Amino acid sequence: MSLAVVEGLTRRFDVSKPWLERVIGRQPKRSLTAVSDVSMTIEAGRTYALVGESGSGKSTIGRMVAGLLRPSEGEVRIDGEAVRAPRADVQMIFQDPYASLNPRWRVGDIVAEPARARGMEVEPGALLERVGLRAIDAQRYPHEFSGGQRQRIGVARALSSRPRLIVADEPTSALDVSVQAQVLNLMKDLQEETGIAFLLISHDLTVIRHMADVIGVLYLGRLVEEAAPATLFERPAHPYTAMLIDAAPKLDGFGREVPPPVGEIPDPIAPPPGCAYNPRCPLAIDLCRRERPALEPVGPGRAACHRAGEVRLEGVA
């Protein structure tokens, strides 16, 4: 059953200089399209993972799904109803376990806020115990906890208004490996227990592969491929996906020598014409420079590539 439907989601940001400076310098208004025309479906009780490098727009999509940011075009629908503001049933887990907890508030108040602000009954101690902390910790302040414990507090807060979808924006990238394992296990347990759906946003392919039921790959604000992990990691249909998989360091890749990828992510204010990946793509042909490929079914998934059938991985997965 689909829980959240994202359709034609687009978000532009005004990146012009301040008004006075712009007028004096006679500069035109400039805008950055962080997300263009993204459509996807998040199933209830499942984990949809968005992966991409910096500037891919993955966090912007997450904030629009959570209702923190208005789309410029398109919409996010939950139960057929467009999301226009934050909702009790969609909550978030943030990347930075330090900046995401108000240092002046007691943990109990932090955890209870999403429920209390909406007049719901809540027991902060029980929430804390559910994420592996103690009820008495509600009396403490955030600075008394380690990074991993803080992230658990963030999870407890996200649970307090009994959400059906949690947007987890890089929930473990500020954490050490062993602590990351604790948080990822906790997320899996909660999903099994309560049927919560996750929109997991990460740049880390190993985390994505471990957690996701469906993976969406973003490049420069567009969805370039979408597939289940098994398909995506075995037979990627987009050359960018293949590059990401090849470039990611492997735990068993002792002395592995792969030719490193070429180029860097282009300026998102002036993306290249045609397929945005064409300047870095080993398979690029003239068509790729002229015409942007649409996201179309390829095998069991979807991909936006003119040469989707010819993509090969360098290393053995």
Partner 1 sequence: MTDAPMLDVPPDAPVKPPSRWRRMVESDLWYAFRTSPVAIVAFAVSTLLILSAVFAPWVAPSNPFDPASLDLMNGFTPPMTPNDFTGATFPMGTDDQGRGVFSTILYGMRISLFVGFMAVAFAMVLGITLGLIAGWAGGVVDAVIMRVADIQLTFPSILVAMLIFGIAKGVIPVQNRDDMAIWVLIIAIGLSDWVQFARVVRGATMVESRKDYVSAARLAGRRGPSILFRHILPNVLSPVLVIATISLALAIIAEATLSFLGVGAPPTQPSLGTLIRIGQDYLFSGEWWILFFPAATLLMLALSVNLLGDWLRDALNPRLR
Partner 2 sequence: MTPTLSIRDLTVDIPTRRGTLRVVDGVSWDIAAGEILGVVGESGAGKSMTGAAVMGLLDRPAHVSGGTVALKGEALDPNDEDAMRGVRGRGIGMVFQDPLTSLDPLMTIGDQLTETIRRHLPVGQGEARERAVRALEEVGIPAAADRLDAWPHEFSGGMRQRVVIALALCAEPDLVIADEPTTALDVSVQAQITALLKRLCRERGTAVMLITHDMGVIAETADRVAVLYAGRLAEIGPVRDVLTDPKHPYTQGLMGATPAASAGKGRLWQIPGAMPRAGSLPDGCAFHPRCGKAQDVCRRDPRPEVGRAHPRAACWFPVGEGAEATA
Helix and strand tally (H, E) in the chain? Answer: 10, 12
Which of 30, 134, 256, 290 touches partner 1 by CB under 8 A?
A: 134
Kindly give the residue spans of alpha helices, DSSP state H, lying in the chain: 19-25, 58-65, 107-116, 124-130, 147-159, 177-194, 205-211, 229-234, 239-247, 286-290
**Beta-carbon neighbour count of residue 143 at 10 Å?**
9
284 binds partner 1 (CB under 8 A): no
User: Which CB, 105 or 285, lies closer to partner 1?
Assistant: 105
244 binds, among partner 1, partner 2, none (CB under 5 to 8 A by kind): partner 2
- The piece of 46-54, 61-69, 195-203, 213-221 that touches partner 1 (CB under 8 A) is 61-69
292 binds, among partner 1, partner 2, none (CB under 5 to 8 A by kind): none
Q: Which residue, chain included where needed, has tokens 């049933």? A: 89
Enumerate residues 6+ apart whose C-beta is below 8 A from 194.
Answer: none
252 binds partner 2 (CB under 8 A): yes
Contact 48, 61 (CB under 8 A): no
User: Which CB, 73 or 176, lies closer to partner 2?
Assistant: 176
Footprint of partner 2 on residues 107-146 (CB under 8 A)? 146
Which of 57, 114, 124, 125 touches partner 1 by CB under 8 A?
A: 114
Q: Rounded CA gap, 267 and 23, in Å?
A: 24
156 binds partner 1 (CB under 8 A): no
What are the beta bridge partners of residue 90? 87, 165
Q: Rounded CA gap, 110 and 142, in Å?
A: 9
What are the beta bridge partners of residue 167? 92, 199
250 binds, among partner 1, partner 2, none (CB under 5 to 8 A by kind): partner 2
Which of 87, 116, 209, 289 touches partner 2 by CB under 8 A?
A: 209
113 binds partner 1 (CB under 8 A): yes
Q: Rounded CA gap, 232 and 56, in Å?
A: 18
DSSP codes joined into one string, 37-60: EEEEEEETT-EEEEE--TTSSHHH
What are the beta bridge partners of residue 49? 200, 215
Measured over all CA atoms, what is the biggest interatomic distance in the chain, rounded to whole angstroms? 65
- The piece of 24-32, 151-159, 207-215, 253-261 that touches partner 1 (CB under 8 A) is 151-159
161 binds, among partner 2, partner 1, none (CB under 5 to 8 A by kind): partner 1
Q: Which residue, chain included where needed, has tokens 């929430």? A: 127
Residue ranges binding partner 2 (CB under 8 A): 53-54, 146-149, 176-182, 184-185, 188, 203, 205-207, 209-210, 233, 243-244, 246-258, 260-261, 264-265, 317
Given the rule CB under 8 A, which residues bind partner 1? 63, 66-68, 86, 88, 90-92, 94-96, 99-105, 113-114, 117-118, 130-134, 136-137, 139-140, 144, 148-149, 152, 154, 157, 161, 182, 186, 189, 192-193
